[in-house]
Amino acid sequence: MKLRTLHGTSAILIAAFACLHVANHLAALAGVSSHIAFMEVARKSYRQPIVEFPLLLCVAFQVASGLWFVIRGWKQRQGGVAWLQAISGALLAFFLLVHVGAVLYGRTVLNLDTNFYFAAAGFHVPPNKFFFGPYYFLAVLALFTHLGCAAYWHLQASPPRTRVVAIALPMLVGGAVSLLIVLSLAGKLRPVEVPAKYKATYARQEG
């Protein structure tokens, strides 16, 4: 199979998990307890070795192949959509490397439950919020944008307006979802009290 075909195939599994993960974060809009309850149910499927191991392999492959496409096509890439796809893909690769690595480290080395508090801790230990705000916002926006770009290329036979909507709509939804997730993690929508053990993962402590 061609590398691009494999890239697209693995993207399906990753996108399915990413959508579930985003839904999990949106559950926090009803409170942290709702987020954790949703996560406990979802983990019964994706924390199974038969699911988690292939998913991690797909993530590793997706990052490597995605960066290869970005680098290989750098000088030949033309058009706004092509560049939007490349930039959003590069942002996703960065996020996957950092986020998956952090979660695995938190689980195996720090022995922490990598739940809402694990993700939110950086917002509540100054000055880390200035990194984590853009980090989470751009990651979620990049996910929706990248999916929109994929839809655009799959609709080549459709009218131009339909293809534009295929990108614009996911980006608008992604922007709204990104903002809600960041505000939720930062405790701007509902009060959030992050346990000390999560804050302690950062070298510089609050206060």
Helix, strand, coil shares of the chain, percent, nearest 5, are 80, 0, 20
Q: Could you tell me the pTM of the whole model? A: 0.90
- CA dihedral sign of residues 175, 176, 181, 186: positive
Distance CA 36, CA 197 (A): 17
Q: What is the CA radius of gyration of the chain?
A: 18
CA-CA distances (angstroms) from residue 105 to 41, 154, 185?
Answer: 22, 37, 20
Distance CA 10, CA 61 (A): 8
How far is C-alpha 25 from the geometric centre of its chain's CA atoms?
Answer: 11
What confidence tens digit (pLDDT) does each residue in 151-189 have?
A: 999 998 899 999 999 999 999 999 999 999 999 999 999
SS3 189: coil
Each residue's pLDDT expressed in tens, for the chain with a length of 207 residues: 588 888 888 988 999 999 999 999 999 999 999 999 999 999 999 999 999 999 999 999 999 998 888 888 777 778 888 999 999 999 999 999 999 999 999 999 999 999 999 999 999 999 999 999 999 999 999 999 999 999 999 998 899 999 999 999 999 999 999 999 999 999 999 999 999 999 998 864 444
Locate the domains of the chain by residue range: 3-199
Strands (E), 81-185: none
SS3 124: helix
Residue 120 CB-density burial (10 A; 0-12 exposed, 13-18 middle, 19+ buried): buried
